[in-house]
């Protein structure tokens, strides 16, 4: 049987060899060339041909022209592939044509390669003319020629196949380590190693992929390929894990590449893990990777982490250039931190790092967003002084900041200055101004600007139409709205969410629910998904039209779409039920939500309790509170404070004190945010609120929870929390919550070693 198997393999091998010879001879006959296929062995023809490419040759009767790529052999062992750069026409004596060749990547012609004393090639030296090529398909020839170990491995495999066909399975099983070893031996030939790796069927072993990465990294020519391979590996393997990352940190290029790829792939947490490992190994990322990490953190709203990472980069010795600082300025823009942006600009000036247009535009946008128009103008003036010309983004930011504060006349003046500076306004410029005039109530000027926009060849987009539509809807001019909508259809301007929501909200406010539902259907037919603003408008409209069943259906549909109803949505439904003298039906809302598959959470109960208290149905609010606790949902500080204030308003101080005592028992403290919320909700119940604050202070419900409560004079009660930042130690009045008590009398009562300060007065809230 063994002899039979051996004969079968020998016959098979013979058939393969015979078939190859037949194909080869057939190609010779078809092409007329003695060597129809050749492999490029050198780099002399780069970038046209690279080592390992297979060339297809043809020897036709057509004359060879200048620029043709030919293969010639003037007696050497290996033919040469070069380009014809000069052709000497036929001689009169023997009609012979002479050629001169040169490699595209060589500094001089090939005369130094010809036989000694030979200056030209003749027709008999030419083996064929290149008519096509197959990239990287000849890597086997290169490997066999330059690496004898590969030839030995292949010979061993063939031998094992012919003699003992099942003994080579262990060789295939060990392919990852064998492949890594082969790649290591090919390290002097990165192109060959890459071609060899690509020829293998996927998936490629991780060890071999990492070996190829380390092989390609030192060669700048192969950096794009290495980054692409690293990107693919990062998607298939957790390269940021502690098991794999150490193998990458030894190379000077790979850690920064990986940090850059993870940051650009919106994977900031993985990028942070890589950065921490680099910092622990004292590996400094390059500026490109550092700026990419800061940008990714800014886009993910991880601004506090970005500040920490930036400080760590500074201590680690990262080369802080303009791009890194720009990324950090972007972080400041996302966080709204003007003070940090100013300090960064000061650091750039001190370090001699120039600010570019992006730097100035980012700071200007930050100032405009914060309402600091004077500071933004100063930055623009500094731009001009430093020779950085303001572009359309600069002017648009300034115009938007003024329009946001309804200073449209100054914004129009900026438009004129913009034109004088030689900067052409774009769609954003005009749309911002149109929106600003609409918000300022000057619809006529907005329409005039739209006409000016069209005269300059810029057709209004959907944002421009939305600004005018919103103002028309606010004024109740629905006929003009329909005219504008028809114009949008004629100009093929596709309506978006803002358009539809504006129309739905306008119809709901007018009580025209039929038209609102029609817009909703058209919105869905056009492929636009309903968002939370759509559902809120519908709930409000149905409640206003006293169609409470439809309002509940809209609420259920809203929750089914994944949107949680806020306080306003539930308040409209509660108000509708109360106006129909059916306040008891509010108690059934949690059960209805449960039946529809939406278990009510703490936010739902909180909204119901707050609104019932506001409407004066304190007993029903207490029932909802008891039901909430019966279902294992813990009430928060806002619920307790609302109940206590409602009991005080209803003349039930005992119940209010019980609520406050329970708050103290559960260590629920009134924060500045809760104070602001209560002052907004009960602005017309100042007496009850004052009593609430008095009892809360008496029980220590304001002076704890990592906050301090102190008096700043004139009866001002200041809340200062550790979570709040105070610029230049300013009073947080109107920011984190400040209670001003215009007290009538101050009563001091000693109790053991403690002194209670009770203020009995009205309060004034500054927002």
Alpha helices in 425-531 (DSSP H): 427-439, 443-455, 462-474, 478-490, 497-509, 513-525
Higher pLDDT among residues 357 and 83, named by residue: 357
- Using the predicted structure, report yes or no on whether residue 173 has a pLDDT greater than 50: no
| Mean pLDDT on 544-561 | 90
| pLDDT average, residue stretch 550-563 | 90
335-367 pLDDT per residue, tens:
999 999 999 999 999 999 999 999 999 999 999
Highest average pLDDT, of 68-82, 129-143, 434-448, 678-692, comes from: 434-448
Q: Which phi and psi (to 5°) does residue 692 adopt?
A: -65, -45
Residue 106 falls inside a structural domain: yes
Q: Which of the pair, 637 or 740, is modelled with greater confidence? A: 637
Percent of the chain having pLDDT more than 90?
Answer: 33
pLDDT for residue 737 is more than 50: no
57 and 128 both lie in a single domain: yes
Cis peptide leading into 700, omega within 30 of 0? no
The residue range of the domain holding 710 is 636-765
State the catalytic residue, choosing from 33, 53, 82, 240.
Answer: 82
Q: Is residue 132 part of a domain?
A: yes
Cα(524)–Cα(497) distance, rounded to whole angstroms?
10
Return the minimum-mean-pLDDT range out of 234-248, 385-399, 413-427, 711-725: 711-725
Domain membership flag for residue 747 = yes
**Residue 107 domain flag:** yes
Beta-carbon neighbour count of residue 23 at 10 Å?
11
Based on the domain organization, do 106 and 184 belong to the same domain? no
Is residue 468 within 8 Å of residue 484, measured between CB atoms? yes
**Does the annotation count 169 as an active-site position?**
no
Residue 763 a catalytic site member: no
Please say if the pLDDT value at position 158 is more than 60. Answer: no
> CB-side exposure of 352: number of CA atoms within 13 Å?
1
* 98 and 149 assigned to the same domain: no
Least confident of 77-86, 427-436, 531-540, 737-746: 737-746
Q: Is residue 679 part of a domain?
A: yes
Rounded average pLDDT over 114-122: 77
Q: Which of 176, 194, 216 is the last residue of a domain?
A: 216
Q: Is it the case that residue 63 has pLDDT exceeding 80?
A: no
Beta-carbon count within 10 A of 451 CB: 11
User: Residue 638 and residue 661: Cα distance in Å, rounded?
Assistant: 15
* Same-domain status, 106 and 157: no
Say which residues have a Cβ less than 8 Å from residue 641's Cβ, sequence separation at least 6.
663, 670, 674, 678, 692, 696
Residues 110, 286, 337, 435: which is the catalytic one?
110
- Report percent pLDDT > 70 for the chain: 84
The answer to the question of residue 675 being in a domain is yes
In this structure, the answer to whether residues 154 and 205 fall within a common structural domain is yes
Q: What is the mean pLDDT of residues 71-77?
A: 74
At residue 165, does pLDDT exceed 70? Answer: no
- For residues 64 and 171, membership in a common domain is answered with no
pLDDT one-digit tens code per residue, 22-44: 877 777 777 777 777 788 777 77
Domain count, the chain: 3
Distance CA 588, CA 552 (A): 12
Q: What is the mean pLDDT of the chain?
A: 80
Choice between 477 and 57, residue whose per-residue pLDDT is larger: 477
242 pLDDT above the threshold of 80:
no
Q: Which DSSP symbol is given to 541?
A: H
* DSSP bridge pairs for 721: 707
Q: Indicate whether 163 and 112 sit together in one domain.
A: no
Q: What is the pTM of this model?
A: 0.65
Averaged pLDDT, 719-727:
37
Per-residue pLDDT at 746: 32
**Range with lowest mean pLDDT among 181-185, 295-299, 361-365, 632-636:** 181-185
CA distances from 334 to 276, 301, 376, 435, 623 (A): 23, 7, 17, 23, 43
Q: What integer pLDDT is reported at residue 211 of this predicted model?
A: 83
Please indicate, yes or no, whether residues 159 and 196 belong to a single structural domain of this protein.
yes
- One domain for residues 52 and 133: yes
Least confident piece of the model among 106-110, 471-475, 648-652: 106-110
Q: Is 44 a catalytic residue?
A: yes
**Over the range 85-112, which residues count as b (16 or more CB within 10 Å of their CB) and which as e?**
eebeeeeeeeeebebbbbbeebeebbee
Q: Measuring CA to CA, how many Å separate 715 from each of 59, 667, 710, 739?
A: 103, 26, 10, 8
644 located within any domain: yes
Rounded CA separation 748/167 (Å): 98
By three-state DSSP, how is residue 716 classified? strand
Beta bridge partners of 55: 38, 133
- What was the pLDDT predicted at 249? 79
The arithmetic mean of pLDDT across residues 98-117, rounded, is 78
Half-sphere exposure of 369 (CA within 13 A, CB side): 14
Distance between CA atoms of residues 654 and 639, nearest Å: 17
In a domain, 319, yes or no: no
Say if residue 118 is in the same domain as residue 177.
no
- Give dist(CA 22, CA 262) in Å, integer: 53
Looking at the structure, do residues 671 and 758 belong to the same domain, yes or no?
A: yes
Same domain, 43 and 127: yes
Domain termination site, one of 106, 137, 168: 137
CA distance 202 to 444: 66
Tens of pLDDT, residue by residue over 567-621, are 888 899 888 888 888 888 888 888 888 888 888 888 889 999 998 998 888 999 9
Angstrom CA distances, 309 to 269, 275, 353, 586, stand at 12, 9, 20, 50
pLDDT class of 150 with cuts at 50, 70, 90: low
Active-site position among 44, 209, 397, 607:
44
Give residue 385's pLDDT: 92
- Give residue 166's pLDDT band: very low, low, confident or very high (50, 70, 90): very low
Last residue of a domain, one of 165, 193, 216: 216
Eight-state DSSP code of residue 121: B
Q: How far is CA 237 from CA 199, 209, 241, 245, 470, in A?
A: 21, 11, 9, 11, 50
The torsion region of residue 511 among left (phi > 0), alpha (psi -120 to 50) and beta comes to left
Query: What CATH number is associated with residue 101?
Result: 2.10.109.10
- 669-681: average pLDDT: 87
């Amino acid at each position: 049987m063994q002899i039979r198997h051996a004969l079968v393999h020998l016959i098979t091998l013979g058939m393969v060899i015979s078939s190859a010879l037949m194909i080869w001879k057939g190609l010779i006959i078809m092409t007329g060339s003695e060597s129809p296929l050749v492999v490029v062995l050198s780099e002399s023809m780069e970038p046209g041909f690279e080592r390992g490419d297979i060339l297809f040759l043809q020897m036709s009767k057509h004359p060879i022209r200048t620029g043709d790529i030919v293969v010639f052999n003037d007696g050497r062992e290996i033919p040469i592939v070069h380009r014809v750069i000069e052709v000497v026409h036929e001689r009169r004596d023997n009609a012979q044509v002479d050629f001169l060749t040169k490699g595209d990547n060589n500094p001089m012609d090939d005369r130094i390669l010809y036989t000694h004393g030979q200056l030209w090639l003749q027709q008999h030296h030419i083996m064929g003319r290149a008519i096509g090529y197959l990239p990287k398909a000849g890597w086997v020839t290169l490997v066999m020629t330059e690496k004898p170990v590969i030839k030995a491995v292949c010979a061993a495999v063939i031998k094992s196949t012919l003699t003992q066909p099942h003994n080579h399975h262990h060789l295939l099983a060990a392919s990852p380590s064998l492949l890594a070893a082969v790649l290591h031996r090919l390290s002097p030939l990165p192109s060959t190693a890459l071609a060899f790796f690509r020829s293998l069927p996927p998936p490629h072993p991780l060890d071999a992929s990492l070996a190829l990465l380390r092989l390609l990294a030192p060669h700048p020519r192969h950096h794009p390929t290495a980054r692409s391979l690293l990107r693919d590996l990062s998607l298939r393997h957790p390269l940021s894990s502690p098991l794999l990352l150490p193998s990458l940190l030894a190379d000077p290029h790979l850690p920064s590449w990986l940090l850059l790829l993870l940051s650009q792939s919106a994977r900031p947490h993985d990028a942070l893990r890589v950065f921490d490992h680099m910092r622990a190994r004292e590996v400094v990322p390059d500026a490109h990777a550092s700026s990419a990490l800061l940008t990714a953190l800014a886009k993910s709203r991880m601004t506090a982490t970005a500040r920490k990472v930036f400080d760590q980069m500074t201590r680690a010795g990262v080369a802080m250039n303009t791009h890194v600082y720009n990324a950090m300025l972007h972080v400041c823009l996302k966080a709204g931190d003007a003070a940090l942006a100013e300090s960064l600009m000061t650091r750039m000036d001190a370090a001699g790092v120039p600010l570019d247009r992006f730097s100035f535009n980012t700071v200007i946008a930050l100032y405009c967003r914060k309402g600091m128009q004077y500071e933004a103008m100063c930055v623009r003036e500094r731009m001009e002084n430093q020779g950085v010309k303001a572009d359309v983004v600069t002017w648009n930011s300034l115009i938007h900041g003024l329009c946001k504060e309804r200073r449209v006349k100054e914004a129009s003046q900026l438009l004129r200055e913009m034109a004088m500076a030689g900067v052409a306004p774009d769609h954003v410029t005009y749309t911002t101004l149109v929106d600003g005039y609409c918000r300022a109530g000057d619809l006529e000027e907005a329409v005039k600007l739209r006409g000016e926009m069209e005269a300059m060849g810029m057709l209004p987009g959907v944002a421009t139409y939305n600004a005018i539509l919103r103002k028309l809807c606010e004024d109740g001019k629905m006929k003009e709205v329909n005219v504008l909508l028809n114009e949008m259809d004629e100009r093929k301007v596709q309506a978006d969410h803002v358009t539809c929501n504006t129309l739905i909200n306008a119809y709901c406010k007018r009580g025209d629910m039929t038209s609102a539902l029609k817009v909703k259907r058209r919105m869905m037919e056009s492929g636009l998904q309903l968002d939370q603003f759509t559902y809120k408008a519908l709930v409000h409209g149905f409640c206003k039209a006293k169609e409470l069943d439809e309002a509940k259906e809209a609420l259920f549909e809203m929750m089914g779409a994944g949107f949680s109803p806020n306080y306003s949505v539930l308040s409209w439904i509660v108000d509708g039920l109360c106006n129909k003298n059916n306040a008891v039906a509010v108690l059934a809302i949690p059960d209805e939500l449960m039946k529809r598959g939406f278990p009510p959470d703490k936010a739902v109960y909180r909204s119901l309790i707050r609104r019932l208290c506001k409407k004066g149905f304190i007993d029903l609010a207490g029932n909802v509170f008891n039901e909430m606790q019966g279902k294992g949902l813990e009430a928060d500080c806002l619920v307790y404070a609302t109940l206590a204030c409602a009991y005080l308003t209803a003349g039930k101080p005992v119940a209010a004190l019980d609520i406050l005592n329970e708050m103290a028992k559960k260590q629920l403290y009134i924060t500045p945010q809760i104070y602001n919320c209560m002052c907004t909700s009960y602005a017309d119940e100042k007496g009850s609120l004052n009593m609430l604050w008095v009892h809360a202070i008496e029980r220590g419900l304001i002076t704890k929870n990592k906050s301090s409560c102190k008096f700043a004079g004139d009866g001002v009660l200041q809340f200062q929390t550790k979570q709040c930042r105070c610029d230049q130690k300013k009073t947080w009045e109107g920011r984190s919550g400040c209670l001003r008590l215009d007290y009538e009398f101050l009563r001091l009562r000693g109790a053991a070693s403690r002194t209670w300060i009770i203020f009995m007065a009205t309060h004034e809230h500054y927002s």
